[in-house]
Amino acid sequence: MSALPAPGAATPRRKTRRVQPAVPLAIIIVAAILVLIVGLALLAPWIAPADPTRQTLLMRLKPPGSVSSAGQLYLLGTDDLGRDLLSRILYGSQISIAVAFLSVVVSTVVGVSLGMAAAWFRGWVETLIMRFVDIMLSIPAVLLAVLTVAVLGPGFLKLILVLALTRWPRYTRVAYAQTLQVANLPYIKAAELAGARTLRILFRHVLPNIAGPLLVVATAEFGLMILFEAGLSFLGLGIQPPAPSWGSIMSVGRQYVERAWWIVAFPGACLFLLVFSVNVLGDWLRDKLDPRSRSR
């Protein structure tokens, strides 16, 4: 944003394009929030004031700022088992972010590989993959997740697997559509004629060309995965107790909203900030990368 006097209302409606800064302030802010949250998550073992799983049953549901008889300060209060909420949120951010991030990575890898393969080889490969995508997409994600947890059992890795399993078809669709467009570009054709190996073409030439829209999908999905994990926690299928995740802290705390607002308020605010930031970033990326909206 420029330091000039605000042009706003006073400026006549002429076609004077303001010089757009390369990165708007809002994006810098949300990026800073993201870095802060991820940084705090990584530093949790060093900055958390207490063991996130250590209960003190006599200190249940204490408001922020309470001090225990042993002299421990609960900066953000305690949860329904007398555990330090601040520490749980810090450690919980590790789990929530890791689950979301890894599930996005896994579904991107699986989904994009299949999507590119379908678009590149066409024929029966295409039919097989894309019809399978249709099938997976038409099973409601929540049902699929609940079913899979029921069969596989719970756990951190399985949670990631479940999320990836329900989400990969979305990436496949995008990768497929994009690859179809890119595959006809002259230089790709040239590479093919020159005898380059398929894998090399796909990963060296096609992938960079379709990465933009995929990145947009991935950012949107990242926010969604954080919420999805929370939803599974609400249904009792999330991360295993006593390990915390934002979702599990909140699904416990919602019962106490009126008496112990802090249990949902603080992780809720963190989750909101994170998802909101990721979404703003995603929208901005979309505008930057989408050739259509760039045209104006």
Other beta carbons within 10 Å of 6: 9
Handedness of CA 138, 231, 40, 241 (dihedral sign): negative
Positions in the binding site for another protein (CB under 8 A): 26, 53-55, 57-58, 60-61, 80-82, 131-132, 134-135, 137-143, 146-151, 153-154, 223, 227, 230-231, 234-237, 240-242, 247, 250-252, 254-259, 264, 268, 271-272, 275-276, 279-280, 283, 286, 290, 292-293, 295-296
Q: Is 122 helix (H, G, I), strand (E, B) or coil?
A: coil
2 vs 295, beta carbon nearer another protein: 295
36 vs 190, beta carbon nearer another protein: 36
Minimum distance from residue 166 beta carbon to another protein (Å)? 12
Measured CA to CA, the distance from residue 92 to residue 73 in angstroms comes to: 19
Q: Tokens standing for 239? A: 């991360």
Minimum distance from residue 13 beta carbon to another protein (Å)? 10
Measured CA to CA, the distance from residue 212 to residue 243 in angstroms comes to: 36
Cβ atoms of 93 and 246 within 8 Å: the answer is: yes
75 vs 227, beta carbon nearer another protein: 227
Minimum distance from residue 108 beta carbon to another protein (Å)? 20
Minimum distance from residue 62 beta carbon to another protein (Å)? 13
127 vs 197, beta carbon nearer another protein: 127
Q: Is 67 helix (H, G, I), strand (E, B) or coil?
A: strand
54 vs 204, beta carbon nearer another protein: 54
Cβ atoms of 83 and 46 within 8 Å: the answer is: no
Minimum distance from residue 237 beta carbon to another protein (Å)? 7
Cβ atoms of 280 and 216 within 8 Å: the answer is: no
